[in-house]
Structure 1
Amino acid sequence: MKKLTTILLAMAMTLPLVACGGGNAGNTNGGNTNSGSTDKHTHVEEVMPAVEPTCTKTGLTEGKRCSECGEVLVAQETVPALGRTTESGTCERCGQSFGDWRIDYSVDDFNQPTDEWYITEDEYLVSTFSNSATTNSKLYANVMADLDDNVMIFLYEYGSRQVKNSSERYWDEYNITMRTPDGADHKITGTMYCGDDRVNIDDAYIDEVLTALKGEGNVMFRIENADRTVESYMIEVATSNFAELYNAEERMQQPPLEKKLSGCYNWVCTKHFPAISGTFRHRLSIREGCTMKEPSLWTLFSDTGDPMAYLLYRAGSAGR
């Protein structure tokens, strides 16, 4: 009886090991451990695919498990997230842009986006303004640059009341001091046209302002009404990712192949106010794809290769 009890006890201790991949009796097959009983199991390897890490998410190395019992044979290891390639600009890995500036597009009369892009800040600049009634009060401001190389500044006194020119006859002129990160002060001017709601940097200084915004550090502007000198606005602009966005859009706007056009044409330049006009009597470089419907908007190129928009029609035509 004692011998029978001993045999039954030994069998009871062995039963839990009769399972898939269980046991440890030393029977192996290709490195896989089989059960210690007569019911043997050979693992069927299944690959657990690797997961590539991204800028913000971790990844996994390749692993292996048994497709029948689920036992993990080769554990997957965590791969750290890669991180952004830049904190101010466009990440080279994921293409996402970071910084204080963003690209947006003008809309048409149906509120649909057009291909006319502009660059503006993600958030309003918070600064101060002063006039005869207040000193260093809250000012919200917004700087914008568009595909026509216009640079505009929108001003909101007390954070809500937009500065506008309500006159139908007179422009508001502004004297502006732009201080660049090197400490240099640049004297420039701006204009708010009749019925307008923004200070337009005058053409003679646009390149100077764009160069500053494409640089590094913060650019400061002190904007003073030329007629009412007690009316002034102080804003500080972080250049951040402006250069990267502007240069990328500028490359996309490069004109296609040019074609030559000979003849005598009258023209009106649509980029100037008041409009100027004249006559071309030489060969012109015209953007390919333009039609000869008159008058038509053409893009001509100056001797330096700079594109200029003109309303162009043949001399002597009805549009003259």
Structure 2
Amino acid sequence: MAISACQALLLMALAAAALMMSTASGTLQYNFYSSSCPKAEEAVRNATVKIISNNPTMGAAIVRLFFHDCFVKGCDASILLDQSSSNPQPEKLAIPLRGYDAVNTIKAAVEAVCPGVVSCADILAFAARDSAMVSGGFTFPMLGGRRDGLASDLRDIFGSIPAPNMQVQQLVGSFSAKGLSAGDLVALSGAHSFGITHCSFVTPRLYPAVDPTLNATYAAALRKVCPQSSGGGTVLNNNNITDPNVLSNQYYKNLGTREVLFKSDQTLTSDAATAKMVQDNADNPVAWMARFAGAMVRMGGIEVLTGNQGEIRKVCGATNSGS
């Protein structure tokens, strides 16, 4: 979507405020690679734009990878590690996610410019930011300086990732455990405006009886796409009114008409505080963009490895030891 110069300035100012808060600890920095690899973010951006231009569904996939990485063991690229002797059951075995090949392609583009300098954790963070630029039409500064972790264990996922059947207070608690606010929860939930999901996450709201918080007409349409025996088939995302590959505040409008896929989406309207946030985001797309930007930056600071911790992987799917 196109935004005016005035709106862009507002967005950048609000994102910068979040940036200042995030850098209070001094662990991550804006423009971290200005000396060591000045073309790093440009390389990430160019590769990300090309990937999403060729396959528009990849924008949502990359943002989701970033979310999963940060909520499990912190933003350390553990979600990207393949199975190995030291990581026999990595996180990626637990949940079917897309985008691994895309991140590997972006990493290769950066390695061609600056070998061994930029972490996979930072590449994923920058690529998620640039996915918002391509799919949502807005951008913001993203901190750098993360290091890559050495371990990945699917058992770490349990209890870390918010579930699609959670109630609002459970979601607020889940985000609070990661240092994020209820406002961050609502802002980041806007990412459900693009991408796809599996019927298995939706059918609990459809059978044996339709969830009363679900719009009846919408439920009837979903039942056609996801019959009771549908298994893992896919359905379109929450942005069914417009384009499923566009990141926007349409999600919040769909909450108002009860046309969202997950119970964890609709529950945001069941609490007075989060319901007001939902309405504010529905009414003001530019303010939501700024909130989303700030929340993405704050999420990118969860339990990061910095300094001499971890390593800078040569490839994102394996540690440098290869074990």
From the two aligned structures, give the one with the greater helix fraction.
2
Q: TM-score, normalised by structure 1?
A: 0.24
Q: TM-score, normalised by structure 2?
A: 0.24
From the two aligned structures, give the one with the greater strand fraction.
1
